[in-house]
Structure 1
Protein backbone atom coordinates (compact mmCIF):
# COMPACT_ATOMS: atom_id res chain seq x y z
CA UNK A 1 0.00 0.00 0.00
CA UNK A 2 1.47 3.32 -1.08
CA UNK A 3 0.21 6.88 -1.03
CA UNK A 4 1.38 9.51 -3.48
CA UNK A 5 1.94 13.14 -2.59
CA UNK A 6 -1.20 15.22 -2.93
CA UNK A 7 -2.18 18.88 -2.99
CA UNK A 8 -4.01 20.67 -0.21
CA UNK A 9 -7.22 21.69 -1.96
CA UNK A 10 -8.15 23.99 0.90
CA UNK A 11 -6.73 24.99 4.27
CA UNK A 12 -9.58 25.95 6.59
CA UNK A 13 -9.94 27.65 9.96
CA UNK A 14 -12.74 29.24 11.94
CA UNK A 15 -13.89 30.67 15.24
CA UNK A 16 -16.50 29.32 17.63
CA UNK A 17 -20.12 30.00 16.67
CA UNK A 18 -23.60 28.70 17.35
CA UNK A 19 -25.02 25.74 15.48
CA UNK A 20 -28.43 25.99 13.75
CA UNK A 21 -30.20 24.97 16.99
CA UNK A 22 -29.21 28.38 18.35
CA UNK A 23 -27.78 27.03 21.59
CA UNK A 24 -24.89 24.68 20.86
CA UNK A 25 -21.44 26.26 20.44
CA UNK A 26 -19.01 24.68 17.99
CA UNK A 27 -15.83 25.41 16.07
CA UNK A 28 -17.08 23.34 13.12
CA UNK A 29 -17.65 26.45 10.99
CA UNK A 30 -14.49 26.63 8.86
CA UNK A 31 -13.63 28.80 5.86
CA UNK A 32 -10.72 28.60 3.41
CA UNK A 33 -7.74 30.70 4.49
CA UNK A 34 -6.06 33.15 2.18
CA UNK A 35 -2.30 32.92 2.37
CA UNK A 36 -0.12 30.89 4.70
CA UNK A 37 -1.01 30.07 8.31
CA UNK A 38 1.35 29.09 11.10
CA UNK A 39 0.86 25.59 12.44
CA UNK A 40 1.95 25.29 16.07
CA UNK A 41 1.88 22.34 18.46
CA UNK A 42 -1.78 23.02 19.24
CA UNK A 43 -3.20 23.98 15.87
CA UNK A 44 -3.46 26.44 13.03
CA UNK A 45 -3.33 30.18 13.51
CA UNK A 46 -6.86 31.59 13.52
CA UNK A 47 -8.57 28.31 14.41
CA UNK A 48 -10.63 27.69 17.55
CA UNK A 49 -12.60 24.95 19.32
CA UNK A 50 -15.64 25.30 21.56
CA UNK A 51 -14.64 22.58 24.03
CA UNK A 52 -10.87 22.15 24.40
CA UNK A 53 -11.41 19.13 26.66
CA UNK A 54 -12.54 17.18 23.60
CA UNK A 55 -11.31 19.07 20.54
CA UNK A 56 -7.96 20.51 19.59
CA UNK A 57 -4.78 20.17 21.63
CA UNK A 58 -1.50 18.45 20.78
CA UNK A 59 -3.05 15.16 19.60
CA UNK A 60 -5.69 16.93 17.48
CA UNK A 61 -3.80 19.89 16.11
CA UNK A 62 -5.15 19.46 12.57
CA UNK A 63 -8.14 17.59 11.17
CA UNK A 64 -7.81 16.18 7.63
CA UNK A 65 -10.88 15.07 5.68
CA UNK A 66 -10.89 13.40 2.25
CA UNK A 67 -12.78 15.50 -0.27
CA UNK A 68 -13.97 12.44 -2.19
CA UNK A 69 -16.15 11.35 0.74
CA UNK A 70 -18.46 14.28 0.03
CA UNK A 71 -19.82 12.67 -3.14
CA UNK A 72 -21.24 9.73 -1.23
CA UNK A 73 -22.52 12.02 1.50
CA UNK A 74 -24.41 14.01 -1.14
CA UNK A 75 -26.55 10.93 -1.85
CA UNK A 76 -27.34 10.58 1.86
CA UNK A 77 -27.76 14.19 2.98
CA UNK A 78 -29.98 16.94 1.66
CA UNK A 79 -27.37 19.59 2.42
CA UNK A 80 -25.80 20.07 -1.00
CA UNK A 81 -25.06 23.65 0.04
CA UNK A 82 -22.61 22.42 2.68
CA UNK A 83 -21.18 19.51 0.71
CA UNK A 84 -20.45 21.53 -2.42
CA UNK A 85 -17.23 22.99 -1.00
CA UNK A 86 -14.54 21.98 1.52
CA UNK A 87 -15.23 22.53 5.21
CA UNK A 88 -18.57 20.77 5.59
CA UNK A 89 -17.21 18.58 8.37
CA UNK A 90 -15.12 21.18 10.17
CA UNK A 91 -11.90 19.94 8.64
CA UNK A 92 -8.71 22.00 8.48
CA UNK A 93 -7.22 20.19 5.48
CA UNK A 94 -9.09 18.98 2.41
CA UNK A 95 -7.40 16.80 -0.23
CA UNK A 96 -8.21 14.15 -2.79
CA UNK A 97 -6.30 10.88 -3.17
CA UNK A 98 -5.79 10.11 0.53
CA UNK A 99 -8.34 8.32 2.66
CA UNK A 100 -8.58 6.05 5.68
CA UNK A 101 -7.59 3.00 3.62
CA UNK A 102 -4.21 4.31 2.47
CA UNK A 103 -3.18 6.47 5.44
CA UNK A 104 -1.69 4.68 8.47
CA UNK A 105 -1.43 5.54 12.12
CA UNK A 106 1.94 7.15 12.81
CA UNK A 107 2.48 8.32 9.23
CA UNK A 108 4.82 11.29 9.21
CA UNK A 109 3.67 13.87 6.68
CA UNK A 110 5.26 17.03 5.32
CA UNK A 111 2.33 19.44 5.31
CA UNK A 112 3.55 22.56 3.58
CA UNK A 113 6.59 23.59 5.66
CA UNK A 114 5.38 21.80 8.80
CA UNK A 115 5.99 18.18 9.79
CA UNK A 116 3.03 16.32 11.28
CA UNK A 117 2.13 12.79 12.34
CA UNK A 118 -1.17 10.92 12.07
CA UNK A 119 -2.35 10.46 15.66
CA UNK A 120 -5.94 9.12 15.52
CA UNK A 121 -9.19 9.01 13.62
CA UNK A 122 -12.23 11.09 14.46
CA UNK A 123 -15.02 10.05 16.79
CA UNK A 124 -18.04 11.84 15.31
CA UNK A 125 -20.49 13.47 17.69
CA UNK A 126 -24.07 14.71 17.66
CA UNK A 127 -23.04 18.21 16.61
CA UNK A 128 -22.79 16.88 13.04
CA UNK A 129 -26.49 16.01 13.24
CA UNK A 130 -27.31 19.56 14.30
CA UNK A 131 -25.04 21.23 11.73
CA UNK A 132 -26.57 19.29 8.84
CA UNK A 133 -30.09 19.04 10.23
CA UNK A 134 -29.78 15.29 9.66
CA UNK A 135 -30.56 13.14 12.73
CA UNK A 136 -28.24 10.14 12.82
CA UNK A 137 -25.48 11.64 10.69
CA UNK A 138 -22.77 11.11 13.33
CA UNK A 139 -23.90 7.52 13.73
CA UNK A 140 -23.80 7.07 9.96
CA UNK A 141 -20.26 8.47 9.77
CA UNK A 142 -19.21 6.05 12.49
CA UNK A 143 -20.84 3.16 10.61
CA UNK A 144 -19.14 4.11 7.34
CA UNK A 145 -15.75 4.69 8.94
CA UNK A 146 -15.23 7.79 6.80
CA UNK A 147 -14.19 9.98 9.72
CA UNK A 148 -11.00 11.61 8.51
CA UNK A 149 -8.05 11.83 10.88
CA UNK A 150 -6.00 14.09 13.12
CA UNK A 151 -2.34 15.09 13.18
CA UNK A 152 0.00 16.02 15.98
CA UNK A 153 2.66 18.59 15.09
CA UNK A 154 6.26 17.37 15.08
CA UNK A 155 7.80 20.51 13.58
CA UNK A 156 5.84 23.79 13.45
CA UNK A 157 5.77 25.61 10.13
CA UNK A 158 3.78 27.53 7.54
CA UNK A 159 0.97 25.80 5.65
CA UNK A 160 -1.17 27.12 2.82
CA UNK A 161 -3.80 25.94 0.42
CA UNK A 162 -2.16 24.68 -2.75
CA UNK A 163 0.87 23.38 -0.87
CA UNK A 164 1.88 19.75 -1.02
CA UNK A 165 1.12 17.02 1.51
CA UNK A 166 3.73 14.27 1.21
CA UNK A 167 4.41 11.08 3.15
CA UNK A 168 7.86 11.19 4.78
CA UNK A 169 7.87 8.03 6.89
CA UNK A 170 5.58 5.07 7.59
CA UNK A 171 6.27 3.12 10.77
CA UNK A 172 3.07 1.03 10.91
CA UNK A 173 2.07 -0.08 7.39
CA UNK A 174 0.00 -2.89 8.88
CA UNK A 175 -2.20 -0.37 10.69
CA UNK A 176 -4.17 1.67 8.13
CA UNK A 177 -6.67 3.99 9.74
CA UNK A 178 -9.52 1.96 8.29
CA UNK A 179 -8.42 -0.97 10.47
CA UNK A 180 -8.13 1.12 13.63
CA UNK A 181 -11.41 2.91 13.05
CA UNK A 182 -13.23 -0.37 12.46
CA UNK A 183 -11.74 -1.75 15.69
CA UNK A 184 -12.73 1.31 17.69
CA UNK A 185 -16.34 1.04 16.55
CA UNK A 186 -16.54 -2.76 16.89
CA UNK A 187 -18.65 -4.03 19.78
CA UNK A 188 -17.79 -7.71 19.33
CA UNK A 189 -15.60 -8.89 22.21
CA UNK A 190 -13.88 -11.35 19.87
CA UNK A 191 -11.80 -8.37 18.77
CA UNK A 192 -10.18 -8.17 22.21
CA UNK A 193 -6.76 -9.44 20.97
CA UNK A 194 -6.69 -6.70 18.33
CA UNK A 195 -7.84 -4.12 20.88
CA UNK A 196 -4.90 -5.18 23.02
CA UNK A 197 -2.51 -4.81 20.08
CA UNK A 198 -3.88 -1.35 19.26
CA UNK A 199 -3.43 -0.29 22.88
CA UNK A 200 0.31 -0.87 22.47
CA UNK A 201 0.77 1.30 19.36
CA UNK A 202 3.17 4.08 20.38
CA UNK A 203 2.04 6.46 17.65
CA UNK A 204 -1.64 6.19 18.55
CA UNK A 205 -3.09 9.04 20.63
CA UNK A 206 -3.10 8.28 24.34
CA UNK A 207 -6.88 8.55 24.64
CA UNK A 208 -7.43 5.89 21.99
CA UNK A 209 -4.80 3.61 23.53
CA UNK A 210 -6.46 4.03 26.91
CA UNK A 211 -9.89 3.25 25.43
CA UNK A 212 -8.65 0.03 23.86
CA UNK A 213 -6.87 -0.95 27.07
CA UNK A 214 -9.97 -0.35 29.20
CA UNK A 215 -12.05 -2.53 26.90
CA UNK A 216 -9.66 -5.42 27.29
CA UNK A 217 -9.55 -5.01 31.07
CA UNK A 218 -13.30 -4.56 31.49
CA UNK A 219 -14.42 -7.11 28.91
CA UNK A 220 -16.97 -4.78 27.35
CA UNK A 221 -17.26 -1.68 25.15
CA UNK A 222 -17.91 1.77 26.55
CA UNK A 223 -21.24 3.60 26.10
CA UNK A 224 -21.26 5.74 22.92
CA UNK A 225 -24.69 7.27 23.35
CA UNK A 226 -23.62 10.51 25.09
CA UNK A 227 -21.38 11.27 22.09
CA UNK A 228 -23.91 10.35 19.42
CA UNK A 229 -27.18 11.63 20.87
CA UNK A 230 -27.87 15.35 21.13
CA UNK A 231 -28.86 16.58 24.60
CA UNK A 232 -32.54 17.24 25.02
CA UNK A 233 -33.73 20.83 24.92
CA UNK A 234 -34.47 20.60 28.65
CA UNK A 235 -30.82 19.99 29.62
Structure 2
Protein backbone atom coordinates (compact mmCIF):
# COMPACT_ATOMS: atom_id res chain seq x y z
CA UNK A 1 0.00 0.00 0.00
CA UNK A 2 1.38 3.37 -0.98
CA UNK A 3 0.64 7.07 -1.35
CA UNK A 4 0.83 7.94 -5.04
CA UNK A 5 0.05 11.64 -4.70
CA UNK A 6 -0.61 14.17 -1.92
CA UNK A 7 -3.19 16.78 -2.95
CA UNK A 8 -4.29 19.96 -1.20
CA UNK A 9 -6.43 22.98 -1.95
CA UNK A 10 -7.74 26.08 -0.20
CA UNK A 11 -11.23 27.58 -0.53
CA UNK A 12 -11.88 29.43 -3.76
CA UNK A 13 -14.88 30.97 -5.46
CA UNK A 14 -16.19 29.35 -8.63
CA UNK A 15 -19.31 29.99 -10.66
CA UNK A 16 -21.72 27.10 -11.15
CA UNK A 17 -25.16 27.26 -12.71
CA UNK A 18 -25.39 31.01 -12.36
CA UNK A 19 -24.23 31.37 -8.78
CA UNK A 20 -21.01 31.78 -6.87
CA UNK A 21 -19.88 28.78 -4.81
CA UNK A 22 -16.99 28.60 -2.34
CA UNK A 23 -15.26 25.23 -2.53
CA UNK A 24 -11.97 23.52 -1.73
CA UNK A 25 -12.55 20.50 -3.95
CA UNK A 26 -9.96 21.61 -6.53
CA UNK A 27 -7.02 19.76 -4.97
CA UNK A 28 -3.60 19.91 -6.63
CA UNK A 29 -0.64 17.56 -6.16
CA UNK A 30 2.24 18.87 -4.07
CA UNK A 31 5.84 17.71 -3.94
CA UNK A 32 7.84 17.04 -0.82
CA UNK A 33 6.83 16.54 2.80
CA UNK A 34 3.40 17.73 3.96
CA UNK A 35 2.53 18.20 7.63
CA UNK A 36 -0.45 16.26 8.97
CA UNK A 37 -2.30 18.36 11.54
CA UNK A 38 -5.08 17.17 13.85
CA UNK A 39 -7.88 18.05 11.40
CA UNK A 40 -6.25 18.66 8.01
CA UNK A 41 -3.11 18.56 5.92
CA UNK A 42 -0.94 21.67 5.72
CA UNK A 43 -2.09 23.81 2.80
CA UNK A 44 -5.53 22.23 2.73
CA UNK A 45 -8.78 23.83 3.85
CA UNK A 46 -12.53 23.41 3.88
CA UNK A 47 -15.10 25.87 2.62
CA UNK A 48 -18.10 24.71 4.67
CA UNK A 49 -17.21 23.29 8.08
CA UNK A 50 -20.82 22.27 8.73
CA UNK A 51 -20.44 19.29 6.37
CA UNK A 52 -16.71 19.12 5.60
CA UNK A 53 -13.59 18.87 7.70
CA UNK A 54 -13.40 18.15 11.41
CA UNK A 55 -11.59 15.30 13.17
CA UNK A 56 -13.57 12.55 11.42
CA UNK A 57 -12.82 14.00 7.96
CA UNK A 58 -9.27 15.13 8.52
CA UNK A 59 -7.70 13.27 5.57
CA UNK A 60 -9.51 11.80 2.57
CA UNK A 61 -7.94 8.99 0.52
CA UNK A 62 -9.13 7.66 -2.82
CA UNK A 63 -7.81 4.51 -4.55
CA UNK A 64 -6.04 5.04 -7.85
CA UNK A 65 -7.54 1.68 -8.83
CA UNK A 66 -10.97 3.34 -9.12
CA UNK A 67 -9.83 5.86 -11.71
CA UNK A 68 -10.35 3.27 -14.45
CA UNK A 69 -14.05 3.28 -13.59
CA UNK A 70 -14.26 7.04 -14.17
CA UNK A 71 -12.33 7.13 -17.45
CA UNK A 72 -15.40 6.48 -19.68
CA UNK A 73 -17.46 9.00 -17.70
CA UNK A 74 -15.12 11.97 -17.20
CA UNK A 75 -12.95 13.88 -19.73
CA UNK A 76 -9.33 12.72 -19.37
CA UNK A 77 -8.05 16.24 -18.73
CA UNK A 78 -10.11 16.31 -15.50
CA UNK A 79 -8.83 12.98 -14.15
CA UNK A 80 -5.43 13.84 -12.71
CA UNK A 81 -4.47 13.08 -9.09
CA UNK A 82 -6.89 14.75 -6.72
CA UNK A 83 -9.72 14.72 -9.28
CA UNK A 84 -12.15 13.18 -6.81
CA UNK A 85 -11.23 15.77 -4.19
CA UNK A 86 -8.92 13.41 -2.33
CA UNK A 87 -5.95 14.43 -0.22
CA UNK A 88 -4.21 11.11 -0.81
CA UNK A 89 -4.34 9.19 -4.07
CA UNK A 90 -3.37 5.66 -3.05
CA UNK A 91 -2.70 2.15 -4.32
CA UNK A 92 -3.56 -1.03 -2.45
CA UNK A 93 -5.86 0.70 0.05
CA UNK A 94 -9.30 -0.55 -0.94
CA UNK A 95 -12.57 0.03 0.90
CA UNK A 96 -13.42 -3.67 0.76
CA UNK A 97 -10.25 -4.55 2.67
CA UNK A 98 -9.99 -1.70 5.18
CA UNK A 99 -11.94 -2.10 8.40
CA UNK A 100 -13.59 0.73 10.26
CA UNK A 101 -11.01 1.59 12.93
CA UNK A 102 -7.93 0.25 11.11
CA UNK A 103 -4.87 2.41 11.83
CA UNK A 104 -2.19 3.06 9.23
CA UNK A 105 1.21 4.69 9.45
CA UNK A 106 1.74 7.18 6.63
CA UNK A 107 5.18 8.75 6.87
CA UNK A 108 5.41 9.68 10.54
CA UNK A 109 1.65 10.19 10.96
CA UNK A 110 -0.89 7.59 12.07
CA UNK A 111 -4.36 7.66 10.54
CA UNK A 112 -7.53 5.78 11.56
CA UNK A 113 -10.13 4.81 8.93
CA UNK A 114 -13.51 6.01 10.22
CA UNK A 115 -15.96 6.43 7.33
CA UNK A 116 -16.65 6.32 3.60
CA UNK A 117 -17.51 9.50 1.74
CA UNK A 118 -20.95 10.80 0.92
CA UNK A 119 -20.46 13.25 -1.95
CA UNK A 120 -22.08 16.66 -2.19
CA UNK A 121 -22.89 18.68 -5.31
CA UNK A 122 -19.36 20.13 -5.37
CA UNK A 123 -18.04 16.89 -6.85
CA UNK A 124 -20.18 17.73 -9.88
CA UNK A 125 -18.53 21.14 -10.02
CA UNK A 126 -15.05 19.59 -9.89
CA UNK A 127 -15.80 17.17 -12.74
CA UNK A 128 -18.07 19.58 -14.62
CA UNK A 129 -21.05 17.24 -14.59
CA UNK A 130 -23.76 17.22 -11.93
CA UNK A 131 -24.61 13.59 -12.80
CA UNK A 132 -21.33 12.49 -11.26
CA UNK A 133 -22.71 12.80 -7.74
CA UNK A 134 -25.36 10.14 -8.37
CA UNK A 135 -22.87 8.01 -10.30
CA UNK A 136 -20.47 8.20 -7.36
CA UNK A 137 -23.17 6.97 -4.98
CA UNK A 138 -24.31 4.18 -7.28
CA UNK A 139 -20.74 3.01 -7.91
CA UNK A 140 -20.08 2.83 -4.14
CA UNK A 141 -16.42 3.58 -4.84
CA UNK A 142 -16.42 5.99 -1.96
CA UNK A 143 -12.85 6.34 -0.76
CA UNK A 144 -11.91 6.54 2.91
CA UNK A 145 -11.95 9.36 5.44
CA UNK A 146 -9.35 9.19 8.20
CA UNK A 147 -9.06 10.58 11.69
CA UNK A 148 -5.55 11.67 12.74
CA UNK A 149 -4.33 9.54 15.64
CA UNK A 150 -0.79 10.91 15.54
CA UNK A 151 0.29 14.07 13.74
CA UNK A 152 3.40 13.94 11.60
CA UNK A 153 4.63 14.36 8.04
CA UNK A 154 3.90 12.38 4.89
CA UNK A 155 4.65 12.64 1.18
CA UNK A 156 4.06 10.95 -2.15
CA UNK A 157 5.87 7.62 -2.31
CA UNK A 158 5.42 6.84 1.38
CA UNK A 159 4.20 3.38 2.28
CA UNK A 160 0.89 2.92 4.06
CA UNK A 161 1.52 0.40 6.82
CA UNK A 162 -1.26 -1.22 8.82
CA UNK A 163 -0.14 -0.76 12.43
CA UNK A 164 -3.33 -1.72 14.26
CA UNK A 165 -6.12 -3.94 12.95
CA UNK A 166 -9.58 -2.97 14.10
CA UNK A 167 -11.31 -5.54 16.33
CA UNK A 168 -14.55 -4.79 14.47
CA UNK A 169 -15.16 -6.89 11.32
CA UNK A 170 -16.91 -4.06 9.48
CA UNK A 171 -15.23 -2.68 6.38
CA UNK A 172 -15.55 0.76 4.85
CA UNK A 173 -17.30 -0.98 1.94
CA UNK A 174 -19.79 -2.59 4.33
CA UNK A 175 -20.82 0.84 5.56
CA UNK A 176 -21.22 2.25 2.05
CA UNK A 177 -23.14 -0.81 0.84
CA UNK A 178 -25.43 -0.87 3.86
CA UNK A 179 -26.25 2.78 3.30
CA UNK A 180 -26.67 2.87 -0.47
CA UNK A 181 -27.94 -0.57 -1.49
CA UNK A 182 -31.74 -0.91 -1.45
CA UNK A 183 -31.68 -4.29 0.32
CA UNK A 184 -30.49 -3.77 3.89
CA UNK A 185 -28.55 -6.37 5.88
CA UNK A 186 -30.02 -5.94 9.36
CA UNK A 187 -27.22 -7.91 11.05
CA UNK A 188 -24.59 -5.73 9.40
CA UNK A 189 -26.61 -2.66 10.30
CA UNK A 190 -26.44 -3.65 13.98
CA UNK A 191 -22.70 -4.29 13.69
CA UNK A 192 -22.20 -0.81 12.26
CA UNK A 193 -24.24 0.81 15.02
CA UNK A 194 -22.09 -1.03 17.59
CA UNK A 195 -18.95 0.79 16.39
CA UNK A 196 -17.89 3.16 19.19
CA UNK A 197 -16.22 5.60 16.77
CA UNK A 198 -18.98 5.74 14.15
CA UNK A 199 -19.31 9.46 13.26
CA UNK A 200 -22.56 11.07 14.49
CA UNK A 201 -23.91 11.85 11.02
CA UNK A 202 -23.63 8.19 10.01
CA UNK A 203 -25.04 6.98 13.33
CA UNK A 204 -28.13 9.11 12.88
CA UNK A 205 -28.71 7.77 9.37
CA UNK A 206 -28.23 4.14 10.36
CA UNK A 207 -30.46 4.48 13.42
CA UNK A 208 -33.25 5.62 11.10
CA UNK A 209 -32.60 2.69 8.76
CA UNK A 210 -32.61 0.25 11.69
CA UNK A 211 -35.88 1.67 13.00
CA UNK A 212 -37.46 1.29 9.56
CA UNK A 213 -36.25 -2.31 9.31
CA UNK A 214 -37.59 -3.30 12.72
CA UNK A 215 -41.00 -1.62 12.35
TM surpasses 0.5: yes
Q: Is the 8 A contact 1:104 1:175 kept in 2?
A: yes
Matches within 5 A, 1:192-207: 192-207=186-201
Question: In 2 relative to 1, CA 172–183 (structure 1 residues): closer, same or farther, beyond 3 Å?
Answer: farther
Residue equivalent to 1:27: 24
Classify the secondary structure of the residue corresponding to 2:115.
strand
Q: Is the 8 A contact 2:168 2:195 kept in 1?
A: no
Q: For the residues of structure 1 that align with 2:182 and 2:90, how far apart are their CA atoms? A: 31
Residue equivalent to 1:80: 76
Match of 1:117 among 112, 116, 121: 112
Residue equivalent to 2:51: 54
**Alignment root-mean-square deviation, CA:** 1.7
Q: Is the 8 A contact 1:38 1:44 kept in 2?
A: yes
Residue equivalent to 1:163: 158
Q: TM-score, normalised by structure 1?
A: 0.84
Matches within 5 A, 1:174-213: 174-188=169-183, 190-213=184-207
Q: For the residues of structure 2 that align with 1:14 and 1:76, how far apart are their CA atoms? A: 24
Shift of 1:47: 0.5
Q: Is the 8 A contact 1:196 1:213 kept in 2?
A: no
Unpaired stretches in structure 1, ≥5 consecutive residues = 1-5, 221-235
Classify the secondary structure of the residue corresponding to 1:178.
helix
Unpaired stretches in structure 2, ≥5 consecutive residues = none
Matches within 5 A, 1:110-149: 110-149=105-144
